């Protein structure tokens, strides 16, 4: 297409108005500008589009053909614009979220149900992956928002804290009693040297946080059993396979009913934060902005003492 869309639009409006003067008023341009645009379009198409007279203009056969096609084209454009406006008014859009399996299950999903009820026209996709994978996807534009544990590897991303969590050591009462009996030691921190540590793999942000804590406090375990998710850590701890380092909130019921008990440590793991990460380098779509605002206000809890 060698002619500009502007020329076609000037022709289209002129055909509707029936004269150049009215077309110029509707287009907010001068009459000479209208005439010039039509002349250039006729030159480019090598066809006369209007019969001109003192009373105005009328379409030639070639003009009739072009007008019918443009009428359908501009009508389609208007329909598209209206659909976009309606979707925006309804809160429609697309939202891509990344989170670890653990944070997705225990933090994201309970809130996401309410969010979708309030915003039924939003198409949501969730990628369950590691924090490092989520950060990479945010940086390359593959995700709108990530729910992650706070880390120094955020690069240029913005991190908005939404909740404070604490990691604790837990095991079954039976496992700890057997461990104490076998090693002829009371239940104390030194007993960890003889215990099996149930932990996440080394690439996990939580695992790295726990390893740093253990190193700084001179803690060692007899052996380690690595798993890929916190759900497995909790399940393995429940059947008495060792001492697991888990997020306190996620085993709250197990602690209440006695299925799991805390392992005493001289210095508890310090609390840390989870939050929403997103790129500050590109505009955020309406669905993502609403999710960010609503999620942060709904999920936030007071910090742990």
> For the chain, percent helix, then strand, then coil, each to nearest 5?
50, 20, 30
Q: Measure Cα distances from 58 to 53, 70, 136, 273 in Å.
A: 8, 16, 60, 71
| Domain contains 305 | no
In a domain, 50, yes or no: yes
Q: Residue 35: inside a domain, yes or no?
A: yes
Give the Cβ contact number of residue 81 at 10 Å.
10
User: The domain containing residue 80 runs over which residues?
Assistant: 5-89
Assess whether 126 and 148 both reside in one domain. yes
C-beta of residue 87 within 8 angstroms of C-beta of residue 213:
no
Residue 114's alpha-carbon distances to 11, 128, 206, 294, in angstroms, are: 50, 20, 28, 10
Q: Are residues 283 and 257 in the same domain?
A: no
Angstrom distance (rounded) from CA 222 to CA 194: 5
Structural domain includes residue 257: yes
Question: Do 29 and 173 reside in the same domain of the chain?
Answer: no
- Output the tens digit of pLDDT for each of the chain's 305 residues: 567 889 999 999 999 999 999 999 999 999 999 999 999 999 999 999 999 998 899 999 999 999 999 999 999 998 888 777 766 654 557 889 999 888 888 888 878 887 888 878 888 899 988 888 899 899 888 899 999 988 888 878 899 888 899 999 999 999 999 988 888 888 777 888 888 989 888 888 888 888 888 888 887 787 889 988 889 999 999 999 999 999 999 999 999 999 999 988 888 888 999 889 998 777 788 888 888 877 766 654 443 33
> pLDDT of 112-142, one tens digit each?
887 888 878 888 899 988 888 899 899 888 8
Decide if 267 is inside a domain. no
Are residue 185 and residue 212 in the same domain, yes or no? yes
pLDDT at 99: 92
The predicted structure's pLDDT at residue 202? 83
101 and 24 share a domain? no
Domain assignment of residue 105, yes or no: yes
Contacts (Cβ under 8 Å, ≥6 apart) of 275: 147, 148, 150, 159, 160, 161, 162, 163
Residue with tokens 């709250």: 252
Q: Are residues 18 and 77 in the same domain?
A: yes
Measure the CA angle with vertex 149, ends 143 and 154; round to 5°: 60
Query: Which two three-digit tokens encode residue 282?
Result: 């590109």
Please check whether residues 114 and 247 belong to one and the same domain: no
Q: Has residue 82 been placed in a domain?
A: yes
Helices (H), the chain: 5-17, 20-27, 31-45, 61-89, 101-103, 109-118, 131-139, 173-183, 205-216, 230-238, 252-257, 286-299
d(CA 24, CA 13): 9
> Of the residues 58, 89, 120, which one is the last residue of a structural domain?
89
What global pTM score does this model have?
Answer: 0.63
Of 55, 70, 89, the residue that ends a domain is 89
- Specify the number of domains making up the chain: 3
- Say how far apart CA 156 and CA 281 lie, in whole Å: 8
CB neighbourhood size of 14 (10 A): 28
CATH number reported for the structural domain that contains residue 84 in this entry: 1.10.10.10
172 in the same domain as 252? yes
Give yes or no: residues 202 and 56 share one domain: no
Residue 249 lies in a domain: yes
Tokens of 147: 């729910």
pLDDT digits (tens, 9 = 90+) for 164-201: 999 999 999 999 999 888 888 887 778 888 889 898 88
CATH of the domain at 183: 3.40.190.10
Where is the domain boundary, 56, 89, 122?
89
Q: Say whether both 183 and 140 belong to one domain.
A: no
Burial level of 297, CB count in 10 A (0-12/13-18/19+)? Answer: exposed
Kindly state whether residues 9 and 83 are assigned to the same domain.
Answer: yes
Assess whether 290 and 241 both reside in one domain. Answer: no
């Amino acid at each position: 297409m060698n002619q500009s869309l502007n020329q076609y639009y000037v022709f289209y409006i002129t055909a509707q108005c029936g004269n150049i003067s009215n077309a110029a008023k509707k287009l907010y341009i001068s009459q000479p500008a209208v005439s010039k645009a039509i002349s250039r379009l006729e030159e480019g198409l090598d066809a006369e589009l209007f019969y001109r007279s003192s009373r105005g203009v009328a379409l030639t056969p070639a003009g009739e053909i072009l007008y019918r096609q443009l009428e359908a084209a501009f009508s389609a454009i208007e329909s598209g614009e209206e659909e976009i406006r309606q979707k925006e008014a309804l809160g429609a859009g697309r939202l891509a979220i990344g989170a670890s399996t653990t944070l997705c299950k225990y933090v994201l999903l309970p809130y996401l149900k309410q969010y979708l009820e309030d915003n039924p026209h939003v198409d949501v996709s969730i990628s369950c992956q590691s924090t490092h994978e989520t950060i990479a996807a945010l940086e390359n534009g593959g995700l709108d928002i990530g729910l992650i544990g706070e880390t120094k590897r955020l690069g240029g991303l913005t991190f908005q804290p939404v909740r404070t969590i604490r990691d604790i050591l837990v095991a079954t009462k039976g496992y700890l009693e057997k461990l104490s009996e076998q090693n002829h030691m009371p239940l104390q921190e030194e007993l960890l040297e003889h215990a099996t540590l149930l932990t996440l793999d080394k690439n996990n942000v939580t695992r790295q946080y726990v390893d740093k804590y253990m190193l700084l406090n001179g803690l060692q375990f007899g052996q380690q059993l690595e798993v890929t998710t916190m759900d497995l850590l909790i399940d393995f701890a429940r059947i008495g396979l060792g001492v697991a380092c888990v997020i306190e909130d996620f085993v709250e019921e197990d602690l209440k009913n006695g299925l799991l008990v805390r392992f005493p440590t001289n210095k508890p793991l310090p609390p840390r934060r989870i939050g929403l990460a997103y790129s500050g380098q590109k505009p955020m779509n309406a669905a993502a902005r609403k999710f960010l605002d609503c999620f942060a206000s709904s999920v936030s809890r007071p910090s742990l003492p």
